[in-house]
Amino acid sequence: MLPSSPATHVLHVVGARPNFMKVAPVVRALEKRAGVEQTLVHTGQHYDANMSDVFFRQLEIPAPDVNLAVGAGSHASQTAEIMTRFEPVVLERKPDLVLVYGDVNSTVAAALVCAKLSVLVGHVEAGLRSFDRSMPEEINRLVTDQLADLLFTPSEDGDLNLQREGVPPEKIHRVGNVMIDSLVRLLPEASRCSANGFPESYALVTLHRPSNVDDGEALQKLLRSLLEISRQLPLVFPVHPRTRRRITEFGLQSGQLHLLDPLPYVEFLALQRNARVVITDSGGIQEETTYLGVPCLTLRDNTERPVTVSMGTNILVGQDENKLCREISKILNGQAKRGTIPPLWDGHAGERIADVLTASTR
């Protein structure tokens, strides 16, 4: 089903921190369109009051109209709880269209509810594929894209993946990368952040994926590699709560690693911008480093964002200690991979989404 008239009430669903960076440009663009009502629903899938509040403030997102306060849980229980709590909101608010973002459990849960209620769904960041179904996010992406009525892709590979899966071309809209919209807007503020307390040259590390942190042996191996790298280049490591718990549970030593608490978006962006290299297993950071031109070494064997490898600064190193160390040596010797910014990653993706939502498609 495709919309036959402009959406006058758009309901946004966010569930985790990466969603905040994606929703902000769309909310801002729709605010400028006459006659559009917006509702923001925070499922509370990942919720830290301090971090959520500062993210909303920095990104200038209005306070959520509804917070489902779902909290943590297994994939099944969390998805089911979001569906149970979200359905009454849709029935009460009666949106013309619901926008879901990214690939978290909130994304697929909201899409399922809307599909069963015959409410139009748009998926922002559609078409990304790792082709690895052991990743829960891949399942969320596949299901959401089959249910969505409007699919907003960040790059050409997303279009091709959807077409190969039988999605009608008229549903697909390549708009660019909404995360880059937030980055472009806040980069001047990040450039003014103080560097006091940080080394002049450093590697920035993030680590949170279950495949890397939930297995004690795998995590110990990664920490050993990072400690080895720290002898050549200081490491700055804002630690995800999940990772910090695992380090403690497994009794692992973090030694000379510069461990920090999680950071607000602007402060983290400043660290990325000034890093010699970023070592990560995050999807969004692969995109941000590509835009910033900062070398990125991804601790995964695959990525749903292959454009960051084919065009950008990203290199997949998996859990291969030798490859990680080799790539670090290249960077320190001035042989870092150079990339280009993909088309439409220009800070205007939110406006393109608003154009589609406020125009008749028939």
Contact criterion met (CB below 8 Å) for 322 and 316: no
Q: Token pair for residue 137?
A: 């996010």
Give the chain's mean pLDDT. Answer: 92
Query: What tens digit of pLDDT does each residue of 47-72 get?
Result: 666 566 777 889 998 889 999 989 88
pTM assigned to the model: 0.94
Superfamily of domain 9-177+345-357: Glycogen Phosphorylase B; (3.40.50.2000)
C-beta of residue 124 within 8 angstroms of C-beta of residue 90: no
Amino acid present at 36:
V
What pLDDT is attached to residue 251? Answer: 73
Ranges in the chain annotated CATH 3.40.50.2000: 9-177+345-357, 189-332
Ramachandran angles phi, psi of 234, nearest 5°: -55, 145
Q: Which of 208, 240, 258, 348 is catalytic?
A: 208
CB 313 within 8 A of CB 337: yes
C-alpha span between 251 and 241 (Å, rounded): 15
Summarize pLDDT for 247-302 with one digit per residue, the tens.
887 776 666 677 888 889 999 999 999 999 999 999 999 999 999 999 999 999 99
List the beta strands (DSSP E) in 253-356: 258-260, 277-280, 296-298, 314-316
CATH of the domain spanning 189-332, picked from 3.40.640.10, 3.40.50.720, 2.30.30.110, 3.40.50.2000? 3.40.50.2000
Q: What DSSP character marks residue 101?
A: E
208 counts as catalytic: yes
For residue 299, the model assigns a pLDDT of 96
In a 10 Å sphere around its CB, with 0-12 CB exposed, 13-18 middle and 19+ buried, how is residue 211 labelled? middle
- Distance in angstroms between the alpha carbons of the first and the last residue of the chain: 12
